[in-house]
Chains A and B, each alone.
Chain A
């Protein structure tokens, strides 16, 4: 026995030897130590301590140079070997890479969205200090009240915690002189708005204080998207003019692609260019609230300090203007980080999707680990031979892990391709949830994520399979056996892998199932109108030209007359908006407070409020809204006749309970004019199929003119009358812009886009999981049948029937599946609670879905078990006995 030298020098040298790979150490370590010992002795004798020091230096440098080189050489060798093994087993290689690539691809795709939206800082300098400031009247149920000009001035002057407050509102202008009149969504902002955000234009300049002065020449800044889309990215756009409504504006700059919040605007103009914003009435009336306000926290100021500051100002204002801020309204003001405001809607959706994608990857890992284990049975002989030829255990395991890593990296590359292929769809999906969708890219951090996912994946499945293989191999070697038998450890690992694949698949299936059930329920919701065969479009009158109500009234009357006589049009209506109209879903309800005759407003209480909509008489007929009581509007309800209203069932219930509202009177101007309720209409889902219908009051268009949209009920395909409708509008007034031409069914379907995409993604993940798991179960059973040919042959020779064999093989697989299903159901009870917020009229533990998912999985597994089992029944006992 070679007793080790215990001198300090030798111990240090042995420590340094750890730089080398283990099998290098095993081969040469002792010898190196011996050589060094002799060298040391001789050097000390010949050159003393100085020589010894030089020897140490040379030796250490040599080791540092050679060690890594040896590692690299071994890696190269292992990688080459791995590629050779993969070429030898193309079936295994393709399945494993595909399964992992799908898992990694799904995760990369979702992560790219999460990184772009949730993790990246806002694309503004010190974007974490930007806040949205909101007024609230919580007692009145108002979370988000816009600001009036005097309010903005007060908050600007009195706050101590913000280095700037800027205002914003959005308007529709009509672009003229370029063919058909076009609708231009316009953000109206403070002159310092873009400097406040730190946005540098990519062309020209943004606004200066002088642009905001009264009488300044009207100027425009274009958004990046509008510049690209409508102006073809014209590099000479600065200086060109836009004729909008009654003014000619010149373009002074183009914005970079930045998230636009709260609206995607086409162009921006300073406040002075907006006639509403610059009117004397808006400037002085505290209750004319149009604007949104953004703030920037001063350096060192926390969000809490900002909130406290705003609260103080709100209390002061409430004291000074009790009429504008009634004491019982719960009036206040708060600040919310802009980052949170831009992403709060997307966050839960994305996290659920990431979780689901993670499950798919885990299932893929389990499946590949299982494939490797199965293949290991066949490779056992090879590994044992290599082992007896001198390869040590850690060397063999290292080889196996390298093979896994190569698989993982290849799958990662393919997964990246999948992810980049799906990116466009994902960006479109994300754009429904957040204005930051344009920031989604496959960039450095995403690539890093993919690499880490690929390597982590290969470490997971590689080490699971290696550990089990190692365990079996060492016992196999100890026993000196050269028979390929499935070791206990490996068999147990395989079973665990199958059970976990099934369990995760069940959870994904249930998640997808719940979303599907919820989507079906949403599609079945009675919206309160008949969406089939209705064409809708938004109309944008050039409001600068329509100075009197009579002008708008005439436009509406002429258009309706023209359209009602068109072939294919059964009825036509004009209204301020229509149900599920995308524009009003952006802006929200047009609510007003009103008084009911005989019920004086109580001190400190707010008047009731309702959404108000102006409609022409045929609105109810055109949209198929049921009348529950009374009458609709008629041609007789004119400007000069008694003012009338139709209310919806919800308003009737809320305000009149058991009383009959018909004949009752309400007022929107504190009793100056009274409006008689003449009818009750059925409730309509105005702002979303998943939202309760709110209170609604309809007034005749002739009495309250507001031309916003056109609705046509047609006898055939609604889109076939679109051209004639457009022509009719143009003939009456070519300066009226038309937008959002679509059928009511499309508008209705669009509201479900977001749940639909989420359902599709979860469904896709679940199908992937099911396919991977089922193929895994089938593959393992097939292998097990192969290994038991001899045993099955004996059983059959002893009289076992086909049915017995079938039952034995299927039973073996289904036992594991049943266990997996049970665990999956348990896990789902816990996890589906996270889906609660996404579900509509379906509980997270919906028994139908749970049963359905379990059934789908059992059937798929049964099918997967059946094929290997059928092969088992075809074993010829004589052949099988000879086989051994």
Chain B
């Protein structure tokens, strides 16, 4: 059971690092090093995650019920016994979506105020 099932309001805003970790798990389960690598690529150095800080975030996300440890583990040929894999929970997905929407709204405001150029029609 997701401990957050009964809570309706996601705890926003998330810290950039937390959001990045959730984002990295949005398209599939990953182990710690994979998360670290993806965050490094996505954030292009803007969010500095290291082995020292990643697991503090993982611990919080686990405690908040936004991610969980994967059981069963991935197919054997992809598995590494020393690694733990993490998965975005439904609640985690809702939070990530809410955070993305919050950012989107902010960006919309920025566009109205002409801080950003209007989106060109696709």
Contacts and interface: CB of A to CB of B under 8 A. Distances in A.
A35 B56 contact: no
Given A35-B32, A36-B51, A60-B52, A28 B82 contact: no
A35 B49 CA distance: 12
Interface string B1-36: 000000000000000000000000000000011001
A306 to B, nearest CB: 63
A63 B52 CA distance: 4
B12 to A, nearest CB: 20
Interface residues of A, number: 28
Nearest to B60: A73
Contacts of B98: none
A66 B52 CA distance: 7
Contacts of A586: none
A30 B59 contact: no
A58 B48 contact: yes
A597 interface: no
B54 interface: yes
Given A2-B82, A35-B36, A28 B58 contact: yes
A564 B73 CA distance: 112
Given A32-B51, A58-B48, A66 B56 contact: yes
A62 B33 contact: no
A33 B83 CA distance: 11
B84 interface: yes
Residue from the set B48, B52, B56 with the largest chain A CB neighbour count within 10 Å: B52
Residue from the set A30, A33, A62, A69 with the largest chain B CB neighbour count within 10 Å: A62
Given A62-B53, A66-B53, A34 B33 contact: yes
A72 to B, nearest CB: 11
B50 interface: yes
A66 to B, nearest CB: 4
Contacts of A58: 48, 50, 52
A669 interface: no
Nearest to B53: A62
A670 interface: no
A389 interface: no
Residue from the set A13, A28, A58 with the largest chain B CB neighbour count within 10 Å: A28
Contacts of B84: 31
Contacts of A70: 56, 59
A27 B59 CA distance: 9
Interface residues of B, number: 17
A65 interface: yes
A59 B51 CA distance: 6
A67 B55 CA distance: 10
A478 B104 CA distance: 55
A746 B106 CA distance: 84
Interface in B36-74: 36, 48-56, 58-59
Contacts of A32: 32, 51-52, 54-55
Interface string A23-51: 01001101111111011000000000000
Contacts of B33: 34-35, 38-39
A32 B102 CA distance: 32
A61 interface: yes
Contacts, number: 68
Nearest to A63: B52
Contacts of B49: 62
Nearest to B40: A39
Residue from the set A2, A24, A35 with the largest chain B CB neighbour count within 10 Å: A35
Contacts of B83: 31, 34
Contacts of B58: 28
Contact of A69 (B36, B50, B56, B82): B56
A13 B33 CA distance: 16
B87 to A, nearest CB: 16
Interface in A390-420: none
A30 B36 CA distance: 16
A639 to B, nearest CB: 100
Main secondary structure of the interface of B (DSSP, over half): helix
A62 B52 contact: yes
A371 B72 CA distance: 46
A487 B50 CA distance: 46
A28 B50 contact: no
Nearest to A39: B51
Interface in A64-79: 64-67, 69-70
B13 to A, nearest CB: 19
A28 B55 contact: yes
A59 B59 contact: no
Contacts of B82: 2, 30-31, 34
A602 B54 CA distance: 99
B52 A65 contact: yes
A65 B54 CA distance: 11
A345 B74 CA distance: 82
A24 B58 CA distance: 11
Interface in A56-102: 58-67, 69-70
Nearest to A30: B82
Residue from the set B32, B51, B55, B58 with the largest chain A CB neighbour count within 10 Å: B51
Contacts of A16: 52
Given A34-B33, A35-B36, A38-B33, A62 B59 contact: no
A30 B32 CA distance: 11
A66 B59 CA distance: 11
A60 B53 CA distance: 9
B45 to A, nearest CB: 11
A453 to B, nearest CB: 35
A19 to B, nearest CB: 9
Interface in A659-716: none
A527 B83 CA distance: 91
A65 B51 CA distance: 12
Nearest to A56: B50
A55 B49 CA distance: 10
Residue from the set B33, B50, B56, B59 with the largest chain A CB neighbour count within 10 Å: B50
Contacts of A27: 59
A417 B11 CA distance: 41
Interface in B66-107: 82-84
Interface string A738-773: 000000000000000000000000000000000000
A32 B32 CA distance: 8
Contact of A24 (B36, B53, B59): B59
A2 B84 CA distance: 14
B59 A61 contact: no
Given A30-B82, A34-B83, A70-B59, A65 B53 contact: yes
Contacts of A60: 52
B11 to A, nearest CB: 15
B51 A61 contact: no
B32 A59 contact: no
B18 to A, nearest CB: 13
B25 to A, nearest CB: 15
A35 B51 CA distance: 6
A13 B84 CA distance: 19
A39 B51 CA distance: 9
Contacts of B32: 31-32, 34-35
B1 to A, nearest CB: 15
A31 B52 contact: no
Contacts of B55: 24, 28, 31-32, 66
A33 B54 CA distance: 12
Interface of A: 2, 13, 16, 24, 27-28, 30-36, 38-39, 55, 58-67, 69-70
Interface of B: 32-33, 36, 48-56, 58-59, 82-84
Complex A-B, nearest 5 residue pairs according to Cβ-Cβ distance, in ascending order: A62-B52, A63-B52, A62-B53, A62-B50, A66-B56
23 contacts: A2-B82, A13-B51, A24-B59, A28-B55, A30-B82, A32-B32, A32-B51, A34-B33, A35-B32, A35-B36, A39-B51, A58-B48, A59-B50, A59-B51, A62-B50, A62-B51, A63-B50, A63-B51, A63-B53, A65-B52, A65-B53, A67-B52, A69-B56
Given A35-B54, A58-B48, 4 more contacts: A2-B82, A32-B51, A32-B55, A62-B49
